[in-house]
Structure 1
Amino acid sequence: MNDVLVDLGAVPMATASSAVVVPMQGGAEPPPGEPEFGKASPVALVVILLLGLATAFLIRSMTKHLKKVPASFDAQPDEPADGDAAGPKQP
């Protein structure tokens, strides 16, 4: 594994070296003649399709719940509002 020194800049401590060893990303080059891409695409396609299906079901469920919401949240004259234990007001 290759290591790379990374300079962190000015460090308030009085040390002689202010570097950290960080392993490099990446791996060995693929052998000649083999494609470098396409190995994860079937798995990614399945994940994307499952996410799309879950999103469709969530939208359908949300639409059903939103149809139950009243057009207005004003208190009806025959129903007591929250905190009104006495019931509707009499004129």
Structure 2
Amino acid sequence: MDVFAVNNFGDTRSGGLAGPMGLFLIVLMCVATVLLIRNMNKRIRRLPDSFSDAAERDRVAEIARLDADAQRPAAAAGSDVEADRSAAPVTMEEPEVTGAAEEKRDSTAGGGADRA
């Protein structure tokens, strides 16, 4: 019956430092948490009440640009126009191609097997 009373777990008295070390780590983490919370509160207080989005800034900038263009004198606005822009555009007529559309229809009639 002496076998049941044997201590197989080693010396349990040598770990006497585990309790104070655990307490030190818990206190250290609590102090770090308090300092982080204080720092974040300071940064949050510095933020503006609201942020304007990019679309709003672009819209305000476009309105300001258009307002500045409207305020310019008409003579200055007329000098920006190119002289030959008011002339009738020269268009070149392209020759009519009739055979290409039929050939294209014939090549796709095979079900598109040629495309791979």
- Normalising by structure 2, we get a TM-score of 0.36
| Greater per-residue helix proportion | 2
**Greater length-normalized contact order (CA 8 Å, ≥ 6 residues apart):** 1
| Greater per-residue strand proportion | 1
Structure of larger gyration radius: 2
- Normalising by structure 1, we get a TM-score of 0.45
